[in-house]
Amino acid sequence: MTVPFVDLQAQYRSIKSEVDAAIQRVLDTSAFILGREVEAFERAFSEYVGAEFCVGVSNGTAAIQLALTACGVGAGDEVIVPANTFFATAEAVSTANATPVFVDCDPDSSNIDASKIEAAITPRTRAILPVHLYGRPADLDAVFRVAERHNLVVIEDAAQAHGARYKGKRVGPLGRAGCFSFYPGKNLGAYGEGGAVVTNDADVARRVRLLRDHGSEQKYRHEIVGYNFRLEGIQGAVLGVKLGHLDRWNELRREHAALYRELLAPHVDAGSLTLRRESPDAESVHHLFVIQADARDSLQRFLSAAGVQTGIHYPVPVHLQPAYASLGHAEGDFPEAERQARRLLSLPMFAELTERQINYVAEAVGDYFAGASAARA
């Protein structure tokens, strides 16, 4: 058996007629950039996450950059970001002309360790950018408490967390603004690039809308210098269709995660395997199912030989990326993020995964640890 890491074809097959019809509508109307399908999706997605406003943009990185700029973050400002996230979180801070300041992650949740944020605050700090990593909401109350004490803006990076709930509320509009990516492999993925900013702040929404389209709301009148960060009509149409399936897909991911946890539990003591600790406050949508193991690389090779595709999210923490060498960080600065980068491994996770496939993956992990303990004996 082979188990792919994700299977976008399986998802397409399950919604083909709806998607094809939606794309056809765009072809028939030639509304290729923004337009009716994008507007309809923006309305539907804002309702879905419980935000007053949603502005579709060209990708998740652009969403973060524009949200920061729209919230007044710019040159000379510092923004607090977790050290273990996809590079784009920090990159968007840099392209918004500000400087990312890294904070280590929590050993249990892998999200930003809110107890370490205060020590990273300087007179230049303007914002905190928590990431709901792998689909699990960050400890937002703790982040909000620090933000309030220091008068900082909180912008959520919800690129991996479409539909996730923190204390019963969907993430995205819980801070001043929330940013989503619709990269094809995400829980809600476009058929190309896509992203969105959601907010309850009318001013922020208006500024993002201006910034995404050359500073213009009215053709050939440009109020500010902006960007071409518009969402395409075909992506709006596809996202509109897929949004109707998101809760069901997220529920399936939840079931898959529960089955993985049940099947992997016996190996937690036997090997060095660690599973993320769940929290009742943070309802994950399991964008990724990430385990940790000391012998991660040999486990990954073993699984690959057994036909199981895996991923590493992410092998190098952001503070150690060559692009941020100028910030002067060294190994040891954020020990937990570095430890996790050496140990984490993402198992196959997507809604269409079958029970048989999950059993096969868990058995292969079990075989690895059985072999490893036999080799030690």
* DSSP structure string for 13-38: HHHHHHHHHHHHHHHHHT--BSSHHH
Residue type, 149: R
Report the residue number whose CB is nearest to ligand PLP. 60
Residue type, 113: D
Helix axes 60-70, 202-212, angle to 10 degrees: 130
Nearer to ligand PLP, 88 or 345 (CB): 88
Contact 209, 56 (CB under 8 A): no
Q: Which of 11, 69, 89, 300 binds ligand PLP (CB under 6 A)?
A: 89
Q: Which stretch binds ligand PLP (CB under 6 A): 80-88, 250-258, 262-270, 350-358?
A: 80-88
What string marks each residue from 222 to 261 as x (binds ligand PLP by CB under 6 A) or -? ----------------------------------------
Q: Is 308 in the site for ligand PLP (CB under 6 A)?
A: no
Q: Is 86 in the site for ligand PLP (CB under 6 A)?
A: yes
Q: Minimum distance from CB of 131 to ligand PLP (Å)?
A: 5
Q: How far, in Å, are 7, 249, 301 from residue 351 at the CA level?
A: 9, 5, 25
Nearer to ligand PLP, 159 or 361 (CB): 159
Residue whose token pair is 């020590």: 119
Q: Is 159 in the site for ligand PLP (CB under 6 A)?
A: yes
Q: Minimum distance from CB of 192 to ligand PLP (Å)?
A: 10
Q: Is 156 in the site for ligand PLP (CB under 6 A)?
A: no
Q: Is 115 helix (H, G, I), strand (E, B) or coil?
A: helix
Q: Is 60 in the site for ligand PLP (CB under 6 A)?
A: yes
Whole-angstrom distance, CA of residue 66 vs CA of residue 165 = 24
Nearer to ligand PLP, 34 or 81 (CB): 81
Q: Minimum distance from CB of 60 to ligand PLP (Å)?
A: 2
Tokens of 150: 């220091």
Q: Minimum distance from CB of 224 to ligand PLP (Å)?
A: 22
Q: Minimum distance from CB of 260 to ligand PLP (Å)?
A: 21
Nearer to ligand PLP, 70 or 365 (CB): 70
Q: Is 185 helix (H, G, I), strand (E, B) or coil?
A: coil
219-250 burial, b for 16+ CB within 10 Å, e for fewer? eeeeeeebbebbbbbbbbbbbbbbbebbeebb
Q: Which stretch binds ligand PLP (CB under 6 A): 83-91, 264-272, 290-298, 322-330?
A: 83-91
Q: Is 344 in the site for ligand PLP (CB under 6 A)?
A: no
Q: Is 125 helix (H, G, I), strand (E, B) or coil?
A: strand
Helix axes 60-70, 87-95, angle to 10 degrees: 40
Q: Is 160 in the site for ligand PLP (CB under 6 A)?
A: yes
Contact 232, 37 (CB under 8 A): no
Whole-angstrom distance, CA of residue 90 vs CA of residue 129 = 9
Residue whose token pair is 């040999």: 298
Whole-angstrom distance, CA of residue 70 vs CA of residue 288 = 30
Q: Which stretch binds ligand PLP (CB under 6 A): 67-75, 135-143, 152-160, 221-229?
A: 152-160
Cis peptide before 314 (omega within 30 of 0): yes
Tell me the pairing of strands 177-181 and 195-199. Answer: antiparallel
What string marks each residue from 96 to 135 as x (binds ligand PLP by CB under 6 A) or -? -----------------------------------x----
Q: Which of 41, 48, 166, 183 binds ligand PLP (CB under 6 A)?
A: 183
Q: Which of 59, 187, 199, 235 binds ligand PLP (CB under 6 A)?
A: 59
Q: Which residues make up the interface to ligand PLP (CB under 6 A)? A: 59-61, 85-86, 88-89, 131, 157, 159-160, 181, 183, 195
